[in-house]
A = this chain, B = another copy of it.
Amino acid sequence: MLSLTILGNNSALPAFGRNPTAQWLQTSQESILIDCGEGTQWQLSKYKLKPGKLTHIFISHLHGDHYFGLIGLLTSMSLLNRSKPIHLYGPAQLQAIIQIQLDVAETTLSYPLHFHSLDTAGVIASTQSLEVSCFKVSHSIECWGFMFTEKKIKRSVDPEKARSYEIPAAYFEQLQQGKDYITKKGTIIPNAEVTTPTPAPKRYAYCADTRYNETLIEFIKDVDLLYHETTYLKDQEEKAAMRFHSTTLQAAQLAKIANVKQLMIGHFSAKYESTDLFLVEAKSIFENTVLATEGSCFGL
C-alpha cells in the first residue's frame, strides 16, 4: 500500500498559490520525500506530515524549484534534535552544496545524513518495503526519474484454517512465502487452502522535468501511477522542447504508449492561472489522468 501526498506542483516560479515541487510517499514502513522546493517544510506542517518520520529523500535534479527547500528542512530537523538517520539520493554536486552551507554556519547535523550520489540507471535503494531505481530523463541538466516498486507482500495465513490442518505456527512464515504444507502422513495441504493472497505490489514512476522521450517507456511500462511533468499546454510544443519540458499531449501520449494505469500531471508553468485546461487536454488522449493538485492524496 503506497500513499502519495502532493506538496507542490508548480514550475520554476511560485504563482497563483502554487508551490514548487515536492511529494511525500508513504509506505507501510517508510516516509519518503521526492524533491524539496523552497518552503517544503511549511507545506509539511500545513499537511500535518512529520519531518521526524522521514527516512529517505530523493532529489531529481539541481534546479532550485526542486531542492531549494532541502537545506532548510535538513537543518530544521537538526535543530529539533533528530537522531534517526536520513538517506539522501541526488546528483553528486548536491553534497557539496549542503556541506558548504553547514560549514559556514559551523553546524554539525544532529543525525547521520547518508548521501548517495546518482550516477547510473538501476536500483539505488532497497528499503524494508520498497525497491527504488533511477533512470535518466531528458532535461537541460542531469535529471533523474525514480521508480518506486513495492516489495512482494507476504500472503496472509488464516490461523484457524491452518490449525484445522494441524500446521504448526513455526511453519507460518513459509506459508506466508507461498509454500505448501506436507503433513506427517504425506498429505499435501495446498498453500491457497490456508492463506489469502495479497494485492500485487504497486509501482509508482516519478518523471520530473523532461522533454518528451520515448526511451522512458522501457522504465515506466505498465506502472500503476506515472507522474509526468506538463509544464505547458499543447500549443507550446516548440517552447516546451526548447526548454526541455513537456506539454499535456506529450505526457498523455507517453502514458498511453507505456500502458500505465493512471497518469498524474504537474509542474505547471507560472504563466497559467488556471490548470483546468491541462486536465482537459491530457484526458483527450489518456482518459485516466489526474492533476497533481497540492494537498491531494493518492492511494495505490
Q: Which residues of A contact B (CB under 8 A)?
A: 12-14, 38-39, 41-42, 45, 62-64, 68-69, 71-72, 75-76, 79-80, 91, 93-94, 96-97, 100-101, 104-106, 140-141
Contact = CB atoms under 8 A, between A and B. Distances in A.
Contacts of A106: 140-141
Contacts of A41: 14, 38
B14 A64 contact: no
Given A38-B69, A39-B42, A68-B71, A13 B76 contact: yes
A13 B80 contact: yes
Contacts of A72: 38, 64, 68
A39 B38 CA distance: 7
A64 B140 contact: no
A165 to B, nearest CB: 57
Contacts of A105: 62-64, 141
B141 A64 contact: no
A235 to B, nearest CB: 21
Contacts of A13: 76, 79-80
Given A64-B71, A64-B101, A105-B63, A14 B42 contact: yes
A42 B39 CA distance: 9
For the complex of A and B, the 10 pairs showing the least CB-CB separation, nearest first, are A62-B104, A38-B72, A93-B104, A68-B72, A39-B39, A64-B75, A12-B79, A63-B105, A106-B141, A13-B76
A104 B91 contact: yes
A64 B77 CA distance: 13
A105 B94 CA distance: 11
13 contacts: A12-B76, A13-B79, A14-B41, A38-B39, A38-B41, A38-B68, A39-B42, A62-B101, A62-B104, A62-B105, A64-B71, A100-B100, A105-B141
Nearest to A106: B141
A105 B221 CA distance: 30
A107 to B, nearest CB: 8
A71 B71 CA distance: 12
Highest count of chain B CB atoms <10 Å: which of A13, A62, A72, A93: A72
Contacts of A64: 71-72, 75, 101, 105
A79 B270 CA distance: 11
Contacts of A75: 64
Nearest to A20: B72
Contact of A101 (B80, B91, B97): B97
A45 B39 CA distance: 14
Contacts of A45: 14
Nearest to A66: B105
A141 to B, nearest CB: 5
B104 A100 contact: no
